[in-house]
Amino acid sequence: MSSVTSARALFDLPVKMRDGVTLYADVYLPGGEAVAGGAVKAAARGSQTVSGRAGKFADKTEDIRGAQGTPRASAGPGTPVPPKTSGAGKRRYPVILMRTPYDKSQAFARAAGTGGLGMTAVLRGFAIVVQDTRGRFSSEGEFNAFVNEAQDGYDTVEWIAKQAWCDGKVGMYGGSYVGATQWLAARERPPHLTAIAPFVTASDYHEGWAYQGGAFSLGFNLSWTLWALTGRNRDNLQRRLQLSDERVEAMVDAADDMSAAFRKLPLLPHPDVRKEEAKYYYDWLSHPSDDTYWKRLRIEDFHQKVMTPSLNLGGWYDIFLMGTIRNFERMREAGGSGDARAGAQLVIGPWTHTGLAGNASGLVDYGQRAGTTGLDLDELLIRYYERWLMGKVEPKPAAQSTMSSRRALPAVKGVKALPSPGPLSQTQGGSAAKGPGITEASPVRIFVMGANVWRDEKEWPLKRAKRTRYYLHSSGRANTRRGDGTLSTEAPDAERPDSFLYDPLEPVPTRGGPLCCAPWPGGLPAGPLDQASKEERPDVLVYSTPLLKEDTEVTGPVKVTLWASSSCVDTDFTAMLLDVSPGGQALNLCDGIVRGRWRKSRSIAEPLKPGQAEKFEIDLVATSNLFKKGHRIRVEVSSSNFPRFDRNLNTGKGFDSSEVMVATNTVFHDAKRASYVSLDLVTR
């Protein structure tokens, strides 16, 4: 048990980058001890003492000292080391760094150091550093999304390593863009970066961030830009660009009327986003293909250069689930060191992008086990950092009888242990999650929705899963949920295709799913929502299994293969996997899209030939769900999911065009052109 009972905070420490730009950071140190070295108090803008777990700031000002001395040699990931001291016998600490574009001075960052983890970590003997990234809030320079994070991250890690309060080991932490700052820094191999924990973040900033399946992720990109990147940073932008008060008010108005902003055409230029305020947004729209602009930023091409272990945490309803999984898979295969490969871990809960460690998503409450009762996220992280930054080895779990059909969940302090709700022996190959830590033998921990339990696995995807095709069938009238569309494992024979009209001015509305983020009035809620009302539209094709005769678990990647045609030179095809209850509630599990002209390559556009049937592959990413007896497995097919994705105007023209055409789109499902969804079935 740590003897630390308080923390000391040093605010706005200047950190100079290699190009002379100064970024500012807050530092949180375990209390009760002074640190040796030259004084830095004069360079900082203020320091305070933080006492107790509640994170209250005392009035007392501490003389916190540090120095930019010679960096200490890192002992390497996971090397057991005793607590380090300076020449004067004062303590040095392993450091956890968060680099954020979202304002380090906000309560979520300042009161807890790193948005919840920080105070816990400080009381367990870690120092915490929270920094505003370039051009954001207190830091100097111009913000250009992703572009400067690799070098700035490297420089910040190595600056920390020189400080008298650092023992030479630096970890990184945080989600979304904060996760991107970790991967981009790790790509550069800072000598003292020892472990990273990137949450809900991407592996490729073209596919899976700005675009998906060739479609522009409009809902996320525009709301992120209008609200988080420009709106919240307006004071900084006003100073740097000398914006008028009227322009600042217009930025606020645009963020408050996001629904109207989504519908404006053309997308380029956008009347609510000025290029001088958000050059990066215009860059994203100007580079729809996977070209050199994206290749220089991509993580997937550089996993072999990453030397550190990584704890990857995501949600089944997170917008960046694709990247979370790919980062884990690639690090296990190609990480730059043995520790990087063996130390890659994956945790996926039933969460949305902003609902990590909660028990409810959308309309579904998955029970207390989905949250801290079943997974203590702070403790999971602390154990991870203790392993790699302090050299503490996770004890092996006590042997348990394989004859037992019920196992208790790990004990949580102050909470009576709860039994698992069903017999473990029903699942062949996985095991009930044991304890807060994750072992190298079972580096994957997933939450199985429907069963509502955590399970540890040896790999992803699961080797024991059986890849199964569920084929689309109908007599040509699969339109709406009242149509004749069916889904089965039997391949089709001679069947009539299904057709619908897609009008870009009347798109299928987004209802739930993997969205981010909704802080504005009328914002779109994420997660599982009932799609039944949407399925009354004639431009939504619906294919369902009969009532299931037994529980059916689907855990793994999900892909829809369509044979389809369009009357236009370009169009989109969308797909969604759903769980339908006996009462008819249709809850979305995962969804995807493919843009016609990018169907063969994300780098080279190729128009469709009107009326010609072609194969389209739609990546719905992944899920883990128990379809219960009496439920149905359902697939929806359409051509829009707006504003999650921008509307394809069906003309093949660029984002600077507002010309619209109505398309007649057709889905085939016959012996020569079978359409199907591929699911991983897990025996229980």
Name the amino acid, one letter, at 543: Y
> Can you name the residues that pair with 447 across neighbouring β-strands?
454
User: What is the dihedral sign for C-alpha 350, 354, 355, 360?
Assistant: negative
The one catalytic residue in 353, 473, 631, 669 is 353
3-state secondary structure of 260: helix
Q: Which two tokens stand for residue 458?
A: 């040896």
Query: Does the annotation mark 105 as catalytic?
Result: no
For 323, residues 6+ apart whose C-beta sits below 8 A from its C-beta are: 201, 202, 203, 204, 208, 209, 299
Q: Which two tokens stand for residue 531?
A: 């799609």
Q: What's the rounded Cα separation, in Å, for the pair 668 and 472?
A: 9
For 453, residues 6+ apart whose C-beta sits below 8 A from its C-beta are: 369, 374, 420, 421, 422, 432, 433, 447
The one catalytic residue in 12, 155, 167, 318 is 318
Query: Does the annotation mark 488 as catalytic?
Result: no
Q: What angle do CA 103, 106, 111 make, to 5 degrees?
A: 130
3-state secondary structure of 197: strand
The one catalytic residue in 176, 217, 474, 624 is 176
Burial class of residue 615 (count of CB atoms within 10 Å of its CB; 0-12, 13-18, 19+): middle
For 401, residues 6+ apart whose C-beta sits below 8 A from its C-beta are: none
Query: Does the annotation mark 353 as catalytic?
Result: yes
User: What is the dihedral sign for C-alpha 106, 108, 110, 114?
Assistant: negative
Q: What's the rounded Cα separation, in Å, for the pair 639 and 414?
A: 50
E strand intervals along 66-192: 84-85, 91-100, 127-132, 166-175
Catalytic site residues?
A: 176, 318, 353
